[in-house]
C-alpha cells in the first residue's frame, strides 16, 4: 500500500530538514585556491564521494541511465543540467554518476551547508549554496561562471523543494535559466523516473538525459530564458511519463 502525503501548494517542502540555516553573505568563501584545500577536495570528491555515489545508486535504486552519450557532445566544455527534485541523498549522488568523469557542482539551498562539522565536506563535494544576502550575489554568479569556464557541469534543481518519489513535474520559474543564457552554455535535462522492483517499496530509478539545448540568441535575454525554460519543462514532463510506479501519492489539501 502506497503512502499518502497532503500538500498545500507546490512550494511545500518535504525534505524533513530542520536546522539553523547559516547566512550565505559576502563572507562566504565559494572558491578555495589553497593547495591543501584543493588536495583534500580531490580526495573527498574523487576517492570518497564518487565510489559511494555509484554504489548507493546501483545497490539501493538499480540506477539505469538512458541516453547518457548525449553528454559527450559537450565533453570539451562546461554545461548546465536541470533535473526534477525527488530524492534526498539520491539528488546529491545521481549527478555525480551521470556526468562522470566531468567535475560536477550542484546549486543548493543554504541548509545543505549548515550542518556543523560537514560544511567543508559538502562544499568539497561540489555544493554551491544560493545566497541569503544580496552581498553574496556577485560572488555566487562569478562562481557559477567560473565552473562553466573550467568545463565543469553545474546541476540545478529548478523545482527547489524536495518531493520524495514524486512522479510528476512541478511548475518552476524561469529565473535559473539566466545562467546558460548569459554564458551561452549548453543545457541538458536529467529526468528521474520510478519503476517497481520485485521486492520492497523502494523503486528502481531510470534517469533520462536529453539535450543539448541552447538559448535563442535572436531573442532578448528575458525571452530567451522563457523559451529555454519551456523547452526544459516540456522535456521533463514528457520523460516523467515513463514513471510506472507511485511510491507516494501526493494529494492537494482541500481549502
Q: What is the CATH number of the domain that holds 105?
A: 3.40.1130
Contact 190, 48 (CB under 8 A): no
The pLDDT score that the predictor gives to residue 183 is 93
Q: What gap in Å lies between CA 192 and CA 90, rounded to an integer? A: 10
The pLDDT score that the predictor gives to residue 7 is 87
The pLDDT score that the predictor gives to residue 18 is 55
In the DSSP assignment, the letter for residue 48 is I
What is the mean pLDDT of each successive set of 10 residues along the chain, which is 255 residues long? 83 70 92 96 95 94 97 97 94 94 95 87 95 94 97 97 95 96 97 93 96 97 97 98 95 83
The pLDDT score that the predictor gives to residue 1 is 63
Please give the sequence-ordered ranges of beta strands (E in DSSP) within the chain, or none if there are none.
3-7, 64-66, 79-83, 104-108, 127-129, 153-156, 187-195, 204-213, 248-252
pTM to 2 decimal places: 0.94
Number of domains composing the chain: 1
The pLDDT score that the predictor gives to residue 203 is 95
Domain that holds residue 84: 3-252
Amino acid at each position: 500500500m502506497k503512502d499518502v502525503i497532503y500538500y498545500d501548494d507546490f512550494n511545500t517542502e518535504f525534505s524533513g530538514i530542520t536546522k539553523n540555516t547559516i547566512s550565505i553573505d559576502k563572507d562566504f568563501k565559494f572558491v578555495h585556491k589553497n593547495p591543501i584545500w584543493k588536495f583534500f577536495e580531490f580526495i573527498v570528491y574523487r576517492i570518497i564521494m564518487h565510489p559511494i555515489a555509484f554504489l548507493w545508486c546501483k545497490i539501493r535504486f538499480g540506477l539505469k541511465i538512458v541516453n547518457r552519450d548525449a553528454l559527450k557532445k559537450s565533453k570539451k566544455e562546461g554545461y548546465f543540467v536541470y533535473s526534477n527534485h525527488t530524492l534526498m541523498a539520491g539528488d546529491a549522488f545521481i549527478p555525480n554518476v551521470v556526468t562522470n568523469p566531468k567535475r560536477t557542482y550542484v546549486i543548493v539551498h543554504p541548509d545543505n551547508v549548515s550542518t556543523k562539522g560537514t560544511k567543508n565536506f559538502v562544499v568539497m563535494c561540489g555544493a554551491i549554496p544560493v545566497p541569503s544576502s544580496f552581498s553574496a550575489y556577485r560572488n555566487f554568479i562569478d562562481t557559477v561562471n567560473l565552473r562553466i569556464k573550467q568545463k565543469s557541469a553545474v546541476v540545478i534543481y529548478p523545482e527547489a523543494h524536495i518531493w520524495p518519489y514524486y512522479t510528476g513535474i512541478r511548475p518552476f520559474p524561469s529565473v535559473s535559466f539566466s545562467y546558460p543564457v548569459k554564458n551561452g552554455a549548453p543545457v541538458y535535462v536529467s529526468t528521474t523516473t520510478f519503476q517497481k522492483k520485485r521486492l520492497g517499496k523502494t523503486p528502481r530509478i531510470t534517469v533520462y538525459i536529453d539535450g543539448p539545448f541552447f538559448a535563442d540568441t535572436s531573442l532578448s535575454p528575458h525571452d530567451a530564458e522563457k523559451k529555454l525554460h519551456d523547452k526544459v519543462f516540456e522535456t521533463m514532463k514528457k520523460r516523467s511519463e515513463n514513471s510506472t510506479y507511485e511510491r507516494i501519492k501526493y494529494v492537494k489539501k482541500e481549502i
